[in-house]
């Protein structure tokens, strides 16, 4: 009843789930990543799920290289769409609950107020399109929860926070875009939110609340503000200058505004969400620089 498998377990989110697992009692969690279980390999997946029964499948596996996806569309599609199609089918066969993670990049960023779960999607890049399709595939299974999050960072893996710390130590000046607005989200907070949902369900026999939810740390900022906060936290003598996205062309176009409205998550699961600066400081306090 409480057995869980985390796919893509060596990534940021998967590693954070493993890190905080001990805060939760009575959850029996198995961790696996692509080296052991490739979600695009249906026969291996079948074998894996035939041998073990899981009440919950947490899909933290994904192709997440946003710029590279522009030239690796097939690979991104395979992992983010075909892989998720496989998981949804198996979850249905084995009567497991599927918790799938998606992104703010399913939106085009033309809004001027936070996106709701039912706001129309219109991704601007290949990665976003694959994740939009992944949501459709995941939701074919009746017991699926899709949690969209944004600007994920962690002490594990490569991410914006670690890149800024490294560059700020190497350079005198960083030029960071200030016309893309979103909500940085500490993967530890998302990990805790997911395990709390499962624990609530296991302990209180709540029904599984299928559907789409938004989860991002509270508050908004630009990438420039995010970088400045990191540099200031460590008192690094590096200047951070705001620039326009047009002055920093990237292969993948990104939404100018991708703030997620998270009220549905807060009300449904009765969980508070931390403010982005508080979470960032918590993460930075554990980084050795
Ligand atoms: N990172 C962000 O800023 C962000 C923002 C919004 C939403 N999200 C979503 O949040 C979720 C978690 O993101 P994350 O940042 O934790 O991702 P991540 O750090 O890139 O981790 C993804 C993990 O999945 C693994 N993986 C890749 N292909 C696989 C396959 N075919 N089968 C099994 N595992 C595979 C990766 O292995 P390799 O490293 O060896 O490829 C990696 O360990 C994803 O769904 C992502 O789309 C991320």
pLDDT tens per residue, range 4-45: 999 999 999 999 999 999 999 889 999 999 999 999 999 999
Q: Is the CB of 61 under 6 A from ligand 1?
A: yes
3-state helix, strand, coil in the chain (%, to 5): 40, 20, 40
Rounded to 5°, angle at Cα 40 from 80 and 65: 40
For the CA of 105, the closest atom of ligand 1 is 6
Q: Is the CB of 15 under 6 A from ligand 1?
A: no
| Residue 2, pLDDT score | 83
Query: Using CA atoms, how far apart are residues 108 and 91, in angstroms rounded to an integer?
Result: 30
Structure confidence by residue, pLDDT tens digits, 144-197: 999 999 999 999 999 999 999 999 999 999 999 999 999 999 999 999 999 999
Structure confidence by residue, pLDDT tens digits, 255-275: 999 999 999 999 999 999 999
Q: What is the CATH number of the domain that holds 196?
A: 3.40.50.720
| Residue 176, pLDDT score | 98
| Residue 211, pLDDT score | 97
Structure confidence by residue, pLDDT tens digits, 47-78: 999 988 999 999 999 999 999 999 999 999 99
Q: Is the CB of 103 under 6 A from ligand 1?
A: yes
Confidence of residue 202 (pLDDT cuts 50, 70, 90): confident
44 inside domain: yes
For the CA of 16, the closest atom of ligand 1 is 16
Residues with Cβ within 8 Å of residue 237, at least 6 apart in sequence: 172
227 inside domain: no
Strands 181-182 and 239-243: unpaired
Number of domains, the chain: 1
Are 183 and 218 contacting, i.e. CB atoms less than 8 angstroms apart? yes
Query: Using CA atoms, how far apart are residues 101 and 80, in angstroms rounded to an integer?
Result: 10
| Residue 261, pLDDT score | 98
Q: Is the CB of 33 under 6 A from ligand 1?
A: yes
Question: 63 an active-site residue?
Answer: no
Closest CA to ligand 1's atom 42 = 11
171 inside domain: no
Q: Which helix (H) or strand (E) holds 29?
A: strand 28-32
For the CA of 78, the closest atom of ligand 1 is 31
Q: Is the CB of 12 under 6 A from ligand 1?
A: yes
Residue with tokens 């893309």: 180
pTM for this predicted structure? 0.96
Query: Using CA atoms, how far apart are residues 61 and 87, in angstroms rounded to an integer?
Result: 11
25 inside domain: yes
Cβ neighbour number for residue 182 with a 10 Å cutoff: 24
Please, where are the H alpha helices in the chain?
A: 12-20, 42-51, 73-77, 83-93, 126-138, 160-170, 187-204, 223-233, 263-269, 276-284
Supply the range of the domain harboring residue 211. 3-158+184-218+258-274
Q: Is the CB of 150 under 6 A from ligand 1?
A: yes
Catalytic, out of 127, 178, 213, 257:
127
| Higher pLDDT among residues 19 and 208, named by residue | 19
Q: Which two tokens stand for residue 262?
A: 């998270």
| Higher pLDDT among residues 12 and 206, named by residue | 12
Q: Considering only 59-68, 98-107, 202-211, 212-221, which range has the smallest mean pLDDT?
A: 202-211
Residue 63 CA to ligand 1 centre (angstroms): 5
Torsion, CA 22, CA 62, CA 41, CA 132, rounded to 10: 120
Residue 171 CA to ligand 1 centre (angstroms): 29
For the CA of 41, the closest atom of ligand 1 is 31
Residues with Cβ within 8 Å of residue 59, at least 6 apart in sequence: 7, 8, 39, 84, 87, 98, 99, 100, 101, 138
200 inside domain: yes
85 inside domain: yes
Q: Is residue 206 pLDDT above 90, yes or no? A: no
| Residue 26, pLDDT score | 87
| Higher pLDDT among residues 74 and 201, named by residue | 74
Judged by DSSP in three states, 15 sits in: helix
Closest CA to ligand 1's atom 45 = 101
| Residue 106, pLDDT score | 98
213 inside domain: yes
| Residue 1, pLDDT score | 59
100 CB burial (10 A radius; 0-12, 13-18, 19+): buried
Q: Is the CB of 11 under 6 A from ligand 1?
A: yes
Confidence of residue 207 (pLDDT cuts 50, 70, 90): confident
192 inside domain: yes
Confidence of residue 289 (pLDDT cuts 50, 70, 90): confident
Strands 3-7 and 28-32: parallel
């Amino acid at each position: 009843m409480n057995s869980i498998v985390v796919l893509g377990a060596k990534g940021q989110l998967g590693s954070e789930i493993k890190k905080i697992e001990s805060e939760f009692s009575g959850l029996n969690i198995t961790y696996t990543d692509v080296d052991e279980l490739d979600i695009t390999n249906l026969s291996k997946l079948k074998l894996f799920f035939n041998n073990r029964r899981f009440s919950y499948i947490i899909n933290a596996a994904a192709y997440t290289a946003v710029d590279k996806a522009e030239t690796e569309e097939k690979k991104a599609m395979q992992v983010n769409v075909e892989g998720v199609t496989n998981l949804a089918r198996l979850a249905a066969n084995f009567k497991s609950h599927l918790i799938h993670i998606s992104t703010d990049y399913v939106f085009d960023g033309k809004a001027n107020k936070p996106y709701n779960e039912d706001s129309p999607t219109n991704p601007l890049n290949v990665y976003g399109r694959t994740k939009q399709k992944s949501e459709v595939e995941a939701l074919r299974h009746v017991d699926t929860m899709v949690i969209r999050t944004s600007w994920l960072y962690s002490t594990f893996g490569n991410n914006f926070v670690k890149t800024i710390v490294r560059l700020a130590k190497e350079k005198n000046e960083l030029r960071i875009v200030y016309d893309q607005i979103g909500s940085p989200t500490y993967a530890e907070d998302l990990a805790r939110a997911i395990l709390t949902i499962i624990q609530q369900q296991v302990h209180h026999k709540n029904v599984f609340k299928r559907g789409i939810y938004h989860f991002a740390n509270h508050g908004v900022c630009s990438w420039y503000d995010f970088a400045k906060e990191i540099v200031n936290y460590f008192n690094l003598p590096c200047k951070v200058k705001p620039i326009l996205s047009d002055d920093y062309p990237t292969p993948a176009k990104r939404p100018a505004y991708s703030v997620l409205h998270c009220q549905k998550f807060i009300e449904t699961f009765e969980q508070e969400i931390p403010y982005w600066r508080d979470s960032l400081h918590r993460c930075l306090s554990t980084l050795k620089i």
